[in-house]
Chains A and B, each alone.
Chain A
Amino acid sequence: MPRFEPWDAARAAAIIDDGKAVPGALLPLLHALQAAFGHIPEAAIPMLAAALNLSRAEVHGVVSFYHDFRHTPPGRHVLKLCQAEACQSMGCRNLAAAAEQRLGVTLGGTTPDGRVTLEAVYCLGLCATAPAAMLDGAVAGRLTTSRLDALLDGLA
């Protein structure tokens, strides 16, 4: 289960200091910050701007451009259901509807108890074993609603 650290400015400063020297450092730094804190905390943005000699607007522009970067931490588990064409041809729309109904949230939402964040993803490269999903980084293919239920049943 991915667990994240609480915000710690000194820790963020250390992460930024560690990686700021490489050319084009912003994306690797954002990945490193998100790996630590589960999202990109607002307080990290001026720190990144100062370290990389950018404006805060530029850093914010990059954070908001990429689908991966979160503004708040996700639920304890993250279920990504592929909704791209190859998975569509094998019924991923029905699978997503079943997941939404079971969890009581729509794609992009987190259950009120913070247990599961349900997200759409556009291609996991598992197009010959569709429909596919990724649960906490583990891949699953040839999914059916019952296999999806079994995956969700196993979550704490």
Chain B
Amino acid sequence: MTARLFVPGDAAAVAVGADQVAAALGAATVGQDVSITRTGSRGLFWLEPLVEVATPAGRIAYGPVAPEDVGGLLAAGLLDGGPHALRLGPPEDLPFLRRQTRLTFARCGVIDPRSAAEYEASGGWAGLRRAFALGPEAVVEEVVQSGLRGRGGAGFPTGLKWRTVRQAAGPQKSVVCNADEGDSGTFADRMLMEGDPFLLIEGMAIAGYAVGASRGYVYVRSEYPHAIATFAAALGAARRAGLLGADIDGSGFGFDIELRIGAGAYVCGEETALLDSLEGRRGQVRAKPPLPAHHGLFGRPTVINNVLSLAAVPVILAEGAARYRDLGMGRSRGTMPIQLAGNIRHGGLFEAAFGVTLGELVEEIGGGTASGRPVRAVQVGGPLGAYFPPALFDTPFDYEAFAARDGLIGHGGIVVFDDTVDMAEQARFAMQFCALESCGKCTPCRIGSTRGIEVIERIRSGLDPAANRALLADLCNTMKFGSLCALGGFTPYPVMSALTHFPEDFAGRAAPARAA
């Protein structure tokens, strides 16, 4: 019988040597009956490269594996799940995975992401088939009932968006997937496209069926070459399997997806800038209204959703809205793929029902800092998210709870910093990033970001600090309420949270430095 090994092909695993490990395993097992499947990642990045072997008792994991470990592992009986210092046991039993509720990421790191047959064998397409049985209007209602909100950050109810597009008149509606995952600290879209791309295809097909769109676009950032390659391969496989094309699965519904590549503009993650970019223009933000639902891609009714929103839909359809809605807290229903990143011991993908606290995520699940030093600040929600000190670690992961503390969950990324961080420098960087990435359409963002850098510099150099702090707060207020989109509008979050929670860092360069 063929021994089956699994080595992640996920970019983060590859970045720490997974390709070399796969090559070493291949070379060491030449002539033996061994197959090596490149999967996505389970999302336990401190254990990557994580090698798994299929045994009669289930999979056994080993990690982190270096190429030079391969000889010893094989000698210790890797192919039978034999004992070794790197043996971790069944991956599902690892505490980091056992504490999760994996709905969206259930297959990620498990199956061959390029195999439509493996996707189907593990429950794939069940959501789409139930959608065909229900009919489009019932599908929209099912998504409304699930309580799913946009996972890109805005948190708008997905079902309401779909209902608006369904009711809009238009000859050619589109489904656009926002895979322009530019927030630092986030990698869930990338992992999903590399680890379970058919799930996104299925979610988009369901969206198209529900709203009456025959055309889909995925706009993915150019910084993600692995995701682009895997997703393109999956598109081809789905077409060959008859799950994209003129008549999907004999339903009479036709839908296909085109993959488009961004060009390094962060602002294109904003939905209207993304639409302009897809149309071949500068990625500039549009004023709303009109909403993309009425006047979207090429002026026609368009559903635009984040990867994680669309990828949540197949499970909602397959298992019913109640299964999803019964998880979570308050108005945040279902699960959120949370990403633990930066200076953290156990960094990775943690999908859980809403409600887990920031402290649990950082200290318990994440294990504190990678450097071993105390946690000083965490930035939640990307470059436009607030910096929270440990004093706010009782905040539950929930859209409203974060908003109540002048923060946001955004796309679910958490970046941990230890006590060597200079928060005035982080505030300055937030303004600098805004200046670098501003689309230029509105004045508060285009001009305010550069003025913001200057004001922070003046505060740091001790120049009339009280007046300049007041000026910075006033500038942030103008940006927050006067900008067209979240880039200018949310840059004040990291800036003001740094100033509010870490005022000592703005005391000026002449002030005594903290103990190193």
Interface positions of A (Cβ within 8 A of B): 22-28, 30-31, 52, 58, 61-62, 65-69, 82, 84-90, 121-130, 132, 134, 137, 139-142
Contact = CB atoms under 8 A, between A and B. Distances in A.
Given A65-B265, A127-B186, A139-B15, A89 B282 contact: no
Nearest to A69: B263
Interface stretch (B79-87, B196-204, B341-349): B341-349
B467 to A, nearest CB: 29
5 contacts: A26-B281, A62-B281, A65-B283, A123-B181, A127-B413
Contact of A121 (B14, B16, B185, B223): B223
Interface stretch (B132-140, B415-423, B455-463): B415-423
B287 to A, nearest CB: 18
Contacts of B223: 121, 123-125, 134
A129 B383 contact: no
B200 to A, nearest CB: 15
Interface string B310-348: 000000000000000000000000000001111110011
Contact of A128 (B45, B279, B298, B418): B45
A127 B45 CA distance: 10
Given A27-B261, A86-B184, A126-B187, 15 more contacts: A24-B280, A27-B280, A28-B260, A31-B222, A66-B263, A66-B265, A84-B383, A86-B415, A88-B426, A89-B342, A122-B433, A125-B12, A127-B415, A130-B342, A141-B15
Contact of B12 (A31, A67, A129): A129
Contact of B383 (A30, A85, A134): A85
Interface in B181-238: 181-187, 189-190, 222-227
A122 B277 contact: no
Most chain-B Cβ atoms within 10 A of its Cβ — which of A24, A62, A85?
A85
A70 to B, nearest CB: 11
Nearest to A123: B184
Contacts of A31: 222, 261, 263
A122 B184 contact: yes
Contacts of A121: 223, 264
Contact of A89 (B260, B383, B417, B436): B417
Interface of B: 11-12, 14-16, 45-46, 48, 181-187, 189-190, 222-227, 258, 260-266, 277-283, 298, 339-344, 347-348, 370, 379, 383, 413, 415-418, 421, 426, 429, 433, 436-437, 439
A125 B263 contact: no
A85 B263 contact: no
Given A28-B260, A85-B379, A86-B415, A126 B11 contact: yes
Contacts of A139: 11-12, 14-15, 226
Contacts of B182: 122-123
Provide the main secondary structure of the chain A interface. Answer: loop
A140 B278 CA distance: 30
Contact of A127 (B225, B258, B342): B342
A127 B418 contact: no
Nearest to B418: A89
B129 to A, nearest CB: 31
B354 to A, nearest CB: 21
A18 B456 CA distance: 50
A38 B52 CA distance: 40
A130 B341 contact: yes
B435 to A, nearest CB: 13
B416 A89 contact: yes
B441 to A, nearest CB: 11
Contacts of A88: 342, 417, 426, 429
A128 B282 contact: no
A141 B260 contact: no
Contacts of B347: 127-129
Nearest to A132: B15
A69 to B, nearest CB: 6
A52 B421 CA distance: 49
A123 B413 CA distance: 12
Given A122-B433, A127-B187, A62 B342 contact: no
Contact of A85 (B181, B190, B225, B426): B426
Contacts of B415: 85-86, 89, 127
Given A23-B298, A86-B342, A137-B225, A125 B181 contact: yes
Contact of A68 (B186, B263, B437): B263
A24 B223 CA distance: 21
A78 to B, nearest CB: 13
Nearest to A82: B184
Contact of A125 (B224, B258, B383): B224
B279 A24 contact: yes
Contacts of A126: 11-12, 15, 187
A87 to B, nearest CB: 7
A61 B344 CA distance: 41
Contact of A122 (B186, B224, B266): B266
Nearest to A64: B282
A68 B15 contact: no
Contacts of B413: 86, 127
Query: What 10 A-B pairs have minimum CB-CB distances, sorted nearest first?
Result: A128-B347, A141-B15, A84-B184, A26-B280, A127-B341, A66-B263, A67-B264, A89-B342, A128-B45, A68-B264
